[in-house]
Amino acid sequence: MAEPALRLPDNVEGDFYVDSTCIDCDACRVFAPAVFSDAGAQSFVFHQPSSDDELLAAQKAQITCPTSSIGSITGARRAIDALPELIEDDVYRCGYASEDSFGAISYFAREPEILIDSPRFAEPLVKRLPNVRRMLLTHQDDVADHEKFHARFGCERVLHADDRGRNIELRPAGRDPIDLGDGMLMIPTPGHTRGHAVFLYRGKFLFTGDHLAWSATRGHLYAFRSACWYSWTEQIASMERLLDYSFEWVLPGHGRPVRSPREEMRRSLERCVDWMKRA
């Protein structure tokens, strides 16, 4: 639980606050960007919720925080029934981020009963998931509580074979896309890690793990140059291969999501590739 005595001085006065245990994972700023901001090494509350929507978003962020670094007097019980959070169609953002995945955001496709990356195994979330038949893992960093979900639901777990050592069913190594059924295409995107992959759902939603996200400051899609653990050159090549695909949503584990018309998304991806070659 967050401690008032550890409340960061950057927080504005009011109900919600962030304490000094924050690891700056960014999850709170994804769920409630109107409330939380970045002080450089940690998040803080720059604006207290002033509407019902802002209050609910802040409560979702409080529940999602992987280190329980967000505190409030009013609590967050209302948000329990609001997670997972609908994005569009049958795609949801789970909340309940795990510190083991440095607060990465995970997703749930309801109709095929598929988790994309692992959230924290929390009973309030588990009770709201109708079933989990499969767990698709973008890379070895964001597997979190996959074993607990497997024990509870018996779900198949999919991870590219080049990311090893996690007791997960592995897919063949290589760079060719794999049709997983259920409208889901696995596209290997080595770079951030050797076995990183993204998942394209119904030709519309691209779940990108730590490969690709939106940058408001740059005004286009981008990759994390300072968090490339395997090969930047490989990641550029992986990004170029994504130009062969069309999609409307980029839903990352870290970084900002974005929805754009397909042609606009392609132009943004082209700008990302150009930037990566100069970075």
Instruction: Find the range with the poorest average confidence among 1-10, 170-179, 205-214, 244-253.
Output: 170-179
DSSP-derived 3-state class of residue 30: helix
CA distance 160 to 170: 6
The pLDDT of 165-190, averaged and rounded, is: 82
pLDDT score of 138 more than 60: yes
pTM score, two decimals? Answer: 0.95
- Which pLDDT does position 166 carry in this prediction? 56
Q: Average pLDDT, stretch 118-139?
A: 97
Reported as a single tens digit per residue, the pLDDT across 82-105 is 999 999 999 999 999 999 999 999
DSSP 213-278: EEETTTTEEE--GGG-SS-HHHHHHHHHHGGG---SEEEESSSB-EE--HHHHHHHHHHHHHHHHH
At 172, the pLDDT band (50, 70, 90 cuts) reads low
Q: Which CATH architecture has domain 85-278?
A: 4-Layer Sandwich (3.60)
Share of the chain above pLDDT 90, in %: 90
**Predicted pLDDT of residue 173:** 65
Domain(s) of CATH 3.60.15.10: residues in the chain:
85-278
CATH of 4-80, one of 2.60.40.770, 3.40.50.1820, 3.30.70.20, 3.20.20.70: 3.30.70.20
The pLDDT confidence band at residue 49, using thresholds 50, 70 and 90, is very high
Asked if the model's pLDDT at residue 25 lies above 60, the reply is yes
Between 75 and 85, the more confident residue is: 85
In the sheet that holds 249-252, the strands lie side by side as 178-181, 184-188, 197-201, 205-209, 249-252, 258-259
Both tokens of 6, joined, read: 């550890």
Strands of 89-137, DSSP E: 91-93, 107-109, 114-116, 134-136
Residues in the chain: 279
Task: End-to-end CA distance of the chain: give it in Å, rounded.
Answer: 40
Q: Look at residues 82, 114, 118 and name the one whose alpha carbon lies nearest to residue 97.
A: 118
Q: What is the mean pLDDT of the chain?
A: 94
Measure the CA–CA gap between 247 and 268, rounded to whole angstroms: 12
Mean pLDDT, residues 204-219 taken together: 97
Answer yes or no: are the C-beta atoms of 135 and 118 closer than 8 Å.
yes
Outline which parts of the chain fall under CATH 3.30.70.20: 4-80
pLDDT band at 171 (very low <50, low <70, confident <90, very high): low
pLDDT, tens digit, 9 for 90 and up, residues 260-271: 999 999 999 999
